[in-house]
Amino acid sequence: MRVRKKPWAAPYIKSHPDLIVTDPETQLGHWQERFPSQQPIQVEIGIGKGQFIIEMARQNPEINFLGIEIQESVIATALRKLVESELPNVQLVETDGAFVDTLFAEGEIDKLYLNFSDPWPKKRHAKRRLTSPNFLIHYQKVLKGDGRIQFKTDNRGLFEYSLTSFNNFGMVFDEVWLDLHHSEGNVGNVQTEYEEKFSAKGPIYKLVAHFKEA
C-alpha cells in the first residue's frame, strides 16, 4: 500500500535523534546504550503508527522496546506519539527490518513481535513473508536462546503458512490462538491500530513460539 508522503516527516525525524535511529547498523551490539537502564530488549518489526509498542512500553517499564518501520511518513507519526508519551524505554528505528542480523548482535534480543505483517498471498511471493524460513534463520541469530517470537494476523492463509513454516523449522509452540478476541488469551492483549479496526470483521490469529536450543 502506497503511503502519502508527509513533508514534515523528514525534518521532524531529524530533530529527534535521541528517540529515533536512522543509521541502525552503527548500533549493532550497542542498543542498550540508547536507553537509560539496561533491561531486556524486545523488538517489533513494522510498528505502523506505534500504538502497540508505545502501549507495551507503558505497561512494561522493566523492558526496553525497539520499534522498526521502513515508511518515513508512518514512523514519523509514531515518533510524534512517542514524544508526547515521554516514555524512556522506547526507541524507534527507521529501516527495513527484514534482515535483523545486520541490525542486532547475536543474542541481543529477548522477544520479537510480528504484528499483521504483509501476507504476500501469491505463492510465488512466499519467500517475502516475514514468517518464512528465509527470515526465521535471521531471527534465530539475534534472539537469545530462550527468546520468543509473537505473531498476530487476521489472514488465515498466512497463519496456516506460518504454523507450517515454524514447525518445519523445528520451532516449539508455546501458545496458539485461533480466535484471540474470543478466548482467554485476549486478557491483557495490546492491540495495534489495524487490529482495532479489523477485529470485528473476523478472527485474529496469534501464536508464540521459540527455537529449540542447540
Instruction: Point out the annotated binding site.
Output: 44, 69, 96, 118, 122, 154, 192-195
What is the dihedral sign for C-alpha 147, 153, 158, 164? positive
Q: Give the model's pLDDT for residue 68.
A: 98
* Residue 97 belongs to a domain: yes
* Residue 19 belongs to a domain: no
User: Does pTM surpass 0.85?
Assistant: yes
Give the closest residue to 93 by CA, choosing from 78, 108, 112, 105.
78
Domain of 65? 39-211
Instruction: Point out the annotated binding site for substrate.
Output: 122, 154, 192-195
Instruction: Point out the annotated binding site for S-adenosyl-L-methionine.
Output: 44, 69, 96, 118
Tell me the CATH number at 154.
3.40.50.150
* Residue 29 belongs to a domain: no
For the chain, 214 residues long, the average pLDDT of each consecutive 10-residue run is 78 97 95 97 96 98 97 96 97 92 96 96 95 96 96 98 98 96 86 92 96 81
Q: How many domains does the chain have?
A: 1
* Residue 25 belongs to a domain: no
Catalytic residues: 118
Q: Give the model's pLDDT for residue 3.
A: 62
Q: Give the model's pLDDT for residue 207.
A: 97
* Residue 144 belongs to a domain: yes
* Residue 119 belongs to a domain: yes
Give the closest residue to 63 by CA, choosing from 139, 147, 140, 137.
147
* Residue 6 belongs to a domain: no
* Residue 16 belongs to a domain: no
What's the burial of 80, exposed, middle or buried (CB within 10 Å: 0-12/13-18/19+)?
middle
